[in-house]
Structure 1
Amino acid sequence: MRRRHHFHIDHAGHSVSATVETGRRVEVEILVDGKETGHGTTHADRPVTVQVELPTDPPTPVSVRTTPGPGVPRCVLAAPDAEPHVMSPRPY
């Protein structure tokens, strides 16, 4: 059975959101400031990392590491020269 989970964080003045659709095949979609900028897939409970850029000058590369399970998925934003940040789950 497929299920969608949503996560969000504000970082460096930008909005980063992740949608994780779980099931046999896990799909991860990353939005930066409301625009789709990255996509990744994995199987079962294997983690997946999606590389995206924040639209700064120059662009800042960041990554979102998603751990689909077991249990509820978890997303962590990693940026250069900063501690990794756990993204907050959203109920919608």
Structure 2
Amino acid sequence: MRARHHFHIEYGGHSVSATVQTGDPGVVEVLVDGKETGNVTTHDDRPVTVHVELPAEPPIPVTVRAMPGPGVPRCLLLVPEEPEPHVMAPRIF
């Protein structure tokens, strides 16, 4: 059964949102400041990464790591040179 889960975080003055659609195949879509900047197809419950950039001068490369399962999906924002990942909060639409 397919389900859509939404996640969000504010980082460095930018809005980063992710939608995880479960199922086989599933999809992870990432929006930065409301614009789709990356997507990837998932298979099974394996974690996937989506590399995107935050618009700055120079652009800041970041990675969204999505764990579609098992159980409830989760998303993290990974920023280079920062040792701890940032947990993206679930959003209800």
Give TM-score, length-normalised by structure 2. Answer: 0.96
Give 1:52's aligned residue: 52
Amino acid at match of 2:7: F
Amino acid at match of 1:35: K
Give 2:85's aligned residue: 84
Q: Number of paired residues? A: 92
Give 1:10's aligned residue: 10
Give TM-score, length-normalised by structure 1. Answer: 0.97
Structure 1 Cα separation of the partners of residues 5 and 60 of structure 2 = 26
Higher strand share: 1
Give 1:72's aligned residue: 72
Point out where structure 2 has 5 or more consecutive residues left out of the alignment: none
Q: Point out 4+ residue stretches in structure 1 off by more than 6 angstroms.
A: none
